[in-house]
Amino acid sequence: MEKQQSGKIKLYFMTSEIEAKRIQEHGFINRFESASQMVGLPLKFEGELFYDRPMDPKEFQRQFGLKGDAIFVVDFDYEEIKKYDKSLYFKPLSPRSFKEWHIPEKIANKHFRDKNIYAWKDFQNR
C-alpha cells in the first residue's frame, strides 16, 4: 500500500479502454452495487473497486474475469476511505497479493483529479 505524506493514499482503478473514456468524461458510478445485485450477493456494496497497486492486465483478467488494460491513479485521504477497506468485511477464498477498497462514487469523483489513462507499461520499472 502506497501511503503518502499527510495521510494520502494512492489507489488504482482498472478497467477497459472504452469504459476509461466514459469515466474520463462522466466520472465514476456506483457500479459495484448493481453488479452485486446481478449476481445475487447478499451484501450491498457501494461504489467502485480500487486497488493498492496496478496489476498486469492478464493478472487482472485472471482474478476478476474483466479487462483491465486502462488504469486511473487517484490520491485519496486515508482517513476518509479507511472504512471502505474491503478486508474489513470480506475474506477471499484464496490469499491475494493486493488490497481492495469499495469507494462510493461521490468520494471517488471528489478526488479524481488526474484524468490521464495509464497503461500497465507506464508502471514498469518504477
**Where are the strands (E) in the chain, listed by range?**
2-3, 8-15, 48-51, 70-77, 100-103
**Separation between Cα atoms, residue 15 and residue 66, nearest integer Å:** 8
Per-residue pLDDT of the chain (126 residues; tens, 9 = 90+): 555 556 999 999 999 999 999 999 999 988 754 444 444 444 556 788 899 989 888 888 887 788 889 999 999 999 999 988 877 556 655 556 788 888 999 999 999 999 999 999 998 876
pTM: 0.80
Domain ranges across the chain: 2-123
Q: What is the pLDDT of residue 32?
A: 58
**Separation between Cα atoms, residue 62 and residue 75, nearest integer Å:** 26
In the Cβ-directed half-sphere of 77, how many Cα atoms lie within 13 Å?
6
